[in-house]
Amino acid sequence: MSILRKSLEEIAVPDLEQICAHQVRETHELEFKKDLPFLPVKGQAEQADRWVTRGDRVGDYARDKILAELIAFANAEGGTLVLGIDETDDEPRRARAIFPVPRCEDLAKRLADACEDVIEPRLPLVTARALPLEGDAGVVILRVGRSSIGPHRLASDGQFYARRGERSVRMTVREVRDLVLELASFRP
């Protein structure tokens, strides 16, 4: 049942429905996001990323938060991010319901393209798939393998990220150094 064992092309709507029905939990290889993250403005009503409100582009904040998750996977063991799955508020977080994101096919392409523009060095093993559910709204699935050419960082903030349990965290200088040495030991 695990979508982690399926190729992106094999994942179908019933797989996502099962994830929610069984309240599958986030892990070091699996992350759920209800929608694109946004930076709330103090004193204003909750808003959404400009992808939702204006439809013109993914905001920098949302892009960076999503790509930081992918970097964390690449700098660890690899993993899958599912955008369009609401999660529980309690810990550990578990899938609760499908929450389709607008224009999912275009969004998947834009996020995959952003990986090439904003991640240093470029991720060698990232794939994206849109799974439309309601018109052009649906779920975006992003998968990245463990990278052998890292560590990777987000160019916009200069930070390196890694996966720790079900969280993505900034790496310390020591962790970056250790990963460089580990990866160098595998290179010819």
Specify the pLDDT at position 40: 72
Q: What is the average pLDDT across 118-146?
A: 95
Cα separation, 93 vs 31, in Å, equals: 9
pLDDT > 70 in the chain, percent? 94
pLDDT value of residue 1:
47
Q: Which fold has domain 3-186?
A: 3.30.950
Summarize pLDDT for 105-117 with one digit per residue, the tens: 999 999 999 999 9
Q: 122: which DSSP letter?
A: P
The per-residue pLDDT for 169 is: 94
Residue range 54-103, pLDDT digits in tens: 777 888 999 999 999 999 999 999 999 999 999 999 888 999 999 999 99
Which carries the bigger pLDDT value, residue 179 or residue 45? 179
Structure tokens at 147: 């990278």
**Rounded CA separation 36/50 (Å):** 9
| Residue 45: per-residue pLDDT | 59
Residues 126-131, mean pLDDT to the nearest whole number: 96
- Which candidate, 113, 108, 95, places its Cα nearest to that of 31? 95
Which helix (H) or strand (E) segment holds residue 96: the answer is strand 95-98
Whether residue 184 has pLDDT greater than 90: no
